[in-house]
Structure 1
């Protein structure tokens, strides 16, 4: 997560994206020999505005289009990629279309302008302009995985620098992308406390206001820490990702496993906004955690992925 208006999707709060669109789109791009930047430029010439991050997520399968605006982009992509009309729409599959006019993948700075539900909540809370107020220098995300394979809690430590006088709050937007059965908790543990909240369980949207200990003067820095309580999922988790919506000086994702149940294989990775993915395998025979760290990064994704040993009699949590 990065920038001022932090927006993330926690794994386990959102169903996995369909893989079919990713396959069709990746193959079509490869066949045409187009980069994501060239594709975005071609879309812009046709009056369609979409970020590199969004195209990257569609191509990798991390997200799928879920609104009228996004489906208009798919129709335009059919033309650019020399596909039959409706090919990409059909590849999304059933049950992925939201009400007309909804577009889940706008840039953070456009949330208020486009009428996004999160943008409306931010505006109502007076948080719509905080994006321009700070520079994010550091964020460390630590997530605990128990012996059942469930991600039980996430602790975030962040350092920001004020770009103007009076910075005294930070927003956190959690967009699950589907209805939630319970409220995800957020607790300020050091340097901040939870202020106002906006909760829409049906939309899977939670907006939190984090209040700093005191207003900052321009150039001053503040370090604060908060904890997010994660909801259980039906299956053991195999990935944790943190989306940096904007440039961050340093990002670290630290996934910590119960020593009683360690992954069989694991890797740490980053995905740039243009789709470039870099991954490094980790030997879990000599480690109980995974660390993915990168400097001067964003927009993009930082994360870790793993597989569990084949279940057998006596395996914890099985």
Structure 2
């Protein structure tokens, strides 16, 4: 007997409802949950079956699909969905056909709450596609500080990040992060360490573009109006020492206005910059101009403060001693040499 004939002849029920009717009515998340329940397969079993076909999909991603937080979008995810229909002994296209209507509902929190910062950089959108961003829309950033350490070779070694956030509704238990390093960081990725008041949740990466993103899960869900302070450190990969990955700017992108943002660069005495300058711009701007010069302090440290800043990106650009002085405040080409956190 073929798999197709089995699918047609068997009409399982889920909580007294006919599975075929659930598949017809949708939405996608409900149909996906019902099909899994009807076949009695766990997510780990589905993951193993997909792996046998050369597709690596995390348990978290499958969980997000059945909860409705996210839906399949990428080519690899859509390919996985077709295989899942076979694994769950469903008619071909029965789940895929529900995506069009579900997409409008499921993607609204992403588009209304956390916009993609650079439409011309689709790798950001791809990185976020399997990470639910709805919880992050209920957080208000109150204070942000980034302390960046520059090594003796003039390259960024690590960044200590501190955030104070306030919950705008009950039950918020996580925040979103994105971090990019050197534009093209090769196979190694930034490493997130030294977490305080949170732990890593789901994490996605794009090694080819040097991107890592995911969730910081708080110690417990917050009540409306309650604040949380988290801290973490981002260490650049070893190959960042390669001259082709040289970075001479650091910035943070804000999706919403933040009352106070402090960015601080700490230089090794063997790699003091010739010049440091603050820059900022709107999300749509690719190459913002310098806004003012900054003085290096006695501890080889330079900083800048943004007040009530955003949406947009804010950072510091520096010129090494070997840089050629063009006599003008040059445009920051941060799209090719950059290190950026995204809020």
After superposition, the Cα gap between the structure-2 partners of 1:278 and 1:203, relative to the gap in structure 1 and judged at 3 Å, is: closer
Q: Quote the offset at 1:135 in angstroms.
A: 0.7
Rounded to whole Å, the distance in 2 between the matches of 1:280 and 1:129 is: 36
Segment drifting more, 149-158 vs 208-217: 208-217
After superposition, the Cα gap between the structure-2 partners of 1:133 and 1:264, relative to the gap in structure 1 and judged at 3 Å, is: same
In the alignment of these two chains, the number of paired residues is 202
Partner of 1:130 in structure 2?
135
After superposition, the Cα gap between the structure-2 partners of 1:119 and 1:304, relative to the gap in structure 1 and judged at 3 Å, is: closer
Q: How does 1:1-318 map to 2 (within 5 A)?
A: 109-110=114-115, 119=125, 122=128, 124-125=130-131, 127-175=132-180, 178=184, 180-202=186-208, 204-231=210-237, 232-235=240-243, 236-273=246-283, 277=289, 279-284=291-296, 286=298, 288-310=300-322
Instruction: Provide the TM-score with structure 2 as the length reference.
Output: 0.52
After superposition, the Cα gap between the structure-2 partners of 1:239 and 1:178, relative to the gap in structure 1 and judged at 3 Å, is: closer
Contiguous gaps of at least 5 residues in structure 1? 1-105, 312-318
Q: Quote the offset at 1:165 in angstroms.
A: 0.6
Instruction: Provide the TM-score with structure 1 as the length reference.
Output: 0.56
After superposition, the Cα gap between the structure-2 partners of 1:293 and 1:183, relative to the gap in structure 1 and judged at 3 Å, is: same
Q: Quote the offset at 1:244 in angstroms.
A: 1.7
User: Would you say the 8 A contact 1:239–1:305 is kept in 2?
Assistant: yes
After superposition, the Cα gap between the structure-2 partners of 1:150 and 1:292, relative to the gap in structure 1 and judged at 3 Å, is: same
Q: Quote the offset at 1:229 in angstroms.
A: 1.2
Q: Quote the offset at 1:285 in angstroms.
A: 7.2
After superposition, the Cα gap between the structure-2 partners of 1:203 and 1:241, relative to the gap in structure 1 and judged at 3 Å, is: closer
Q: Quote the offset at 1:120 in angstroms.
A: 6.1
Rounded to whole Å, the distance in 1 between the matches of 2:126 and 2:283 is: 26
Q: Quote the offset at 1:197 in angstroms.
A: 1.4
Partner of 2:327 in structure 1?
none
Q: Which has the larger radius of gyration?
A: 2
Rounded to whole Å, the distance in 2 between the matches of 1:150 and 1:178 is: 14
User: Would you say the 8 A contact 1:259–1:288 is kept in 2?
Assistant: yes
Contiguous gaps of at least 5 residues in structure 2? 1-110, 324-343
User: Would you say the 8 A contact 1:119–1:128 is kept in 2?
Assistant: no
CA RMSD of aligned residues (A): 2.9
The structure with the largest helix share of the pair is 2
Rounded to whole Å, the distance in 2 between the matches of 1:238 and 1:203 is: 17
More contact order relative to length (CA 8 Å, sep ≥ 6): 1
Q: Quote the offset at 1:283 in angstroms.
A: 3.4
User: Would you say the 8 A contact 1:273–1:298 is kept in 2?
Assistant: no
Rounded to whole Å, the distance in 1 between the matches of 2:297 and 2:222 is: 45
Q: Quote the offset at 1:219 in angstroms.
A: 0.3
Rounded to whole Å, the distance in 2 between the matches of 1:118 and 1:238 is: 21
Rounded to whole Å, the distance in 1 between the matches of 2:317 and 2:112 is: 26
Rounded to whole Å, the distance in 1 between the matches of 2:140 and 2:202 is: 23
**1:276-300 alpha-carbon deviations (Å, 9 max, x no partner):** 7562223337451110111110112
After superposition, the Cα gap between the structure-2 partners of 1:215 and 1:134, relative to the gap in structure 1 and judged at 3 Å, is: same
